[in-house]
Amino acid sequence: MGSTTDRTNGPEGVGRRDLMKRSAALGLISVPTMGFLSACASGGGGDEEKAKAGEKTAKNPLGVNNTAQMEFVLFDGGFGKEYAQDAVKIYEKSFPKAKVKFSATQKIQSTLQPRFNQGTPPDLIDNSGAEQMDMGVLVGKKQLADLTPLLDSPSYDDPNKKVRDTLRPGIVEMGQFDGDPVWIMYYAYTVYGVWYSQKALDSLDEQYPETWDQMLAVCEKAKKKGMAGWTYAGKYPYYLPFSLYPMIGKVGGREVLDAIDNLEPNAWKNPAVKACFEAYYELYKKGYVLKGTPGLDHIQSQTAWAEGKALFIPNGSWVENESAKVIPSDFDLAVSAPTGLDSSDKMPFGTIWASGGEPFVVPAKAKNGAGGMEQLRIMLSEESSKNFTSKVKSLTAFNGGTDGISLTPGLKSGVAALEKAGDNVLNPRLQDWYVQLQKEQIGVAGLGEMMAGRITPAEAIKKIQGFADAAAKDSSIKHYKHQ
């Protein structure tokens, strides 16, 4: 899974104490392997000479050395290479004497881990996919450069606006771990929620349900027509939180998700969690989940859904690109924020989880870090953003870049969902702070078992709270908290 990158990822999110801390979450990156954690811990090797700084000018605000090589390594995933290669051409035009060494690989960790340890990393990396390097370890070992100079530089399109002022809310905070420095620039922007065929919903003569009673009524109607209400990636049940977490936030308020992220005692025993778990369990009990779903992976569940065997699926906006070959041309793909319980919910209908994906980093020991940041500045221009969106059916961190593009149905629906959400964008951070807890324990052992009917909601909550408590007490894990 992933922001159309790799399919074993786990999303990331952002703080939410105020308006600016409300948005973005990792499209889904992957579980780092333990080999990297230990190897990376060895720190840097021999420092190679850094490129001398160039002259800072209006056109070169970061002071890039105009003859120094810039090396850019991209994750070769569902977004392809073309958008990055197009941005590299702009860099080469700006610095015609500089050579750009561009490469794309799915083996990010095994290719780059030795180079980090030797102190000879590239200048810019798209650290994504199944072999994503663990961000917490990179930050903890001071192996990443602070991107504040990029964020404070003039934006590519308007010298009177800083780069940070052109980004979607929450993107900056999402790149932070414990305080001010910004270590990561998430380039893609993913909308999570409940995905469905508007055509299928119309055929039932129904609107998207806003309360759980309405949801159950729609599922009953679908069942009578031979269609399941829901399916999901049963083998990877950490897809369920894409709609379940924002539902919990909608029902109980942002602070419930904050407490969960902070590993607070009894956070999972909040009444909002209990109510939402019981609501989802009702889908199983009433037979509204597609038979065999617990045995399906993400591709199989998406294919069954695209074939009209199930009405709803929890997913991220990469699903449009990833399922393009199986979604019928008249499917009329749409996404909605999760259904709530009833009018007593703390947040309005439309409350959604939206997230940054594709994490770009500049290593602290990069020879030409200014060049890496300048490449990112180019990518965060309106032109590069539009190019990405039109080519890969995804939004970027740049707040705009959709004017004049004919949006695909899913993307159009995602933009409308974000507009409807307004300030009510949630971002659980559990999945980037505690990958194993989120995926294996909460996802597989908790939600997966509950939705397969093997444990009750009360048992699932007890199990998950136990896992969270154990993580909170584990001194080998770096702990993070909302600021």
Q: Across residues 440-463, what is the average pLDDT?
A: 96
Distances (CA, A) of 177 to 13, 131, 142, 373: 11, 21, 12, 19
pLDDT at 25: 31
Give the model confidence (pLDDT) of 199-235 as tens digits: 999 999 999 999 999 999 999 999 999 999 999 999 9
CA 179 to chain CA mean position, Å: 20
Here the tokens at position 99 are 């050579």
Here the tokens at position 239 are 């897809």
pLDDT at 43: 41
Nearest-angstrom CA–CA distance, 388 and 380: 10
- Say if residue 175's pLDDT is above 60: yes
Q: Across residues 17-31, what is the average pLDDT?
A: 32
- Say if residue 36's pLDDT is above 50: no
pLDDT top residue among 177 and 271: 271
CB 277 within 8 A of CB 256: no
Give the model confidence (pLDDT) of 72-122 as tens digits: 999 988 788 999 999 999 999 999 999 999 999 999 999 999 999 999 999
Nearest-angstrom CA–CA distance, 249 and 423: 13
Nearest-angstrom CA–CA distance, 407 and 390: 7
Give the model confidence (pLDDT) of 372-394 as tens digits: 999 999 999 999 999 999 888 88
Nearest-angstrom CA–CA distance, 52 and 369: 11
- Say if residue 284's pLDDT is above 90: yes
Nearest-angstrom CA–CA distance, 415 and 393: 11
Q: Across residues 53-67, what is the average pLDDT?
A: 95
CB 80 within 8 A of CB 391: yes
* The one-letter amino acid at 350: G
Assign 3-class secondary structure to the chain: CCCCCCCCEECCCCCCCCCCCCCCCCCCEECCCHHHHHHHCCCCCCCCCCCCCCCCCCCCCCCCCCCCCEEEEEECCCCCCHHHHHHHHHHHHHCCCCCEEEEEECCHHHHHHHHHHHCCCCCEEECCCCCCCCHHHHHHCCCECCCHHHHHCECCCCCCCEHHHHECCCHHHHCCCCCCCCCCEEEEEEEEEEEEEHHHHHHCCCCCCCCHHHHHHHHHHHHHCCCEEECCCCCCHHHCHHHHHHHHHHHHCHHHHHHHHCCCCCHHHCHHHHHHHHHHHHHHHCCCECCCHHHCCHHHHHHHHHCCCEEEEEEECCHHHHCCCCCCCCCCEEEECCCCCCCCCCCCCCCEEEEEEEEEECECCCCCHHHHHHHHHHHCCHHHHHHHHHHHCCEECECCCCCCCCCCHHHHHHHHHHHHHCCCEECCCHHHHCHHHHHHHHHHHHHHHHHCCCCCHHHHHHHHHHHHHHHHHCCCCCCCCCC
- The mean pLDDT of the chain is 88
Here the tokens at position 96 are 């015609």
Superfamily, domain 9-190+355-410? Periplasmic binding protein-like II (3.40.190.10)
Q: Let me know if 118 is exposed, middle or buried by CB neighbors in 10 A (0-12, 13-18, 19+).
A: middle
> 425 - beta bridge partners?
352
Nearest-angstrom CA–CA distance, 157 and 348: 36
Tell me how far apart the terminal alpha carbons of the chain are, to the nearest angstrom.
Answer: 29
Q: How confident is the model at residue 19 (pLDDT cuts 50, 70, 90)?
A: very low
Count the Cβ atoms, other than its own, within 10 Å of residue 233.
Answer: 26
pLDDT at 98: 96
pTM of the complete model: 0.79
Here the tokens at position 256 are 């419930």
Cα Rg of the chain (Å, integer) = 22
Superfamily, domain 192-353+430-473? Periplasmic binding protein-like II (3.40.190.10)
List every span in the chain annotated with CATH 3.40.190.10.
9-190+355-410, 192-353+430-473
Q: Across residues 119-146, what is the average pLDDT?
A: 89
Give the model confidence (pLDDT) of 316-328 as tens digits: 988 998 899 999 9
Here the tokens at position 134 are 């663990």
Q: Across residues 166-195, what is the average pLDDT?
A: 90
Nearest-angstrom CA–CA distance, 347 and 472: 28
- Say if residue 32's pLDDT is above 50: no
Q: How confident is the model at residue 48 (pLDDT cuts 50, 70, 90)?
A: low
Give the model confidence (pLDDT) of 349-368 as tens digits: 999 999 888 999 999 999 99
Range with lowest mean pLDDT among 105-114, 333-342, 426-435: 426-435
Q: Across residues 336-360, what is the average pLDDT?
A: 95
